[in-house]
Every structure is written in structure tokens, then in C-alpha cells.
């Protein structure tokens, strides 16, 4: 999360989004997107989108890419 200063101290929200998302959507390349809306965040009201993949060994890979502005996401 060091690449995204706005995500500093947001570990609880990341875990909450994974454990209790508003929506789970199928992503690309066998990934899933856990989505949760937060009316207040360090910047403004935002949807937090956590991209993750479940593996056969019950491990989870988390990729963090917060939406910077409406309709634009940073490439990883």
C-alpha cells in the first residue's frame, strides 16, 4: 500500500471490503473484485475496489488499485 498514500491506515477498510463487500464482480484473468462504498474516506466518498484471486491452496493474492477519479484507474 506504500504506492498509494491515500491508502495509509486503511487496512481495516480493505479487510472489511474483502469480508463484507457490497458487490463481488468477476474480473479479468480469473480475478474477483470486492467492491464496497464508503461515504467518507481520506480523500472523499469512494468505492474501494479490492482485486483478488483465490488459489487452489486457499491463499489469496490482493492487488490494490484505488480509483483516482471517475472513470479512470491506474494501470498496474
Q: What is the pLDDT of residues 17-62, one digit of tens each?
A: 999 999 999 988 888 999 999 998 777 888 888 888 877 766 666 6
Q: Are 18 and 52 in contact (CB under 8 A)?
A: yes
76, part of any domain: no
74, part of any domain: no
Number of domains composing the chain = 1
41, part of any domain: yes
- Rounded CA separation 43/67 (Å): 11
Q: Which domain holds residue 58?
A: 5-67
23, part of any domain: yes
Q: Using CB atoms within 10 A of its CB, is residue 49 exposed (0-12), middle (13-18) or buried (19+)?
A: buried
73, part of any domain: no
pTM assigned to the model: 0.68
- Rounded CA separation 33/27 (Å): 6
Amino acid at each position: 500500500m506504500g504506492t498509494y498514500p491515500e491508502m495509509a491506515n486503511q487496512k481495516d477498510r480493505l479487510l472489511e471490503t474483502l469480508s463484507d463487500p457490497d458487490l463481488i464482480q468477476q474480473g479479468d484473468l480469473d480475478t474477483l473484485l470486492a467492491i464496497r462504498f464508503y461515504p467518507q474516506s481520506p480523500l472523499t466518498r469512494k468505492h474501494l475496489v479490492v482485486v483478488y484471486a483465490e488459489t487452489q491452496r486457499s491463499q489469496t493474492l490482493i492487488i490494490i488499485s484505488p480509483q483516482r477519479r471517475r472513470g479512470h484507474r491506474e494501470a498496474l
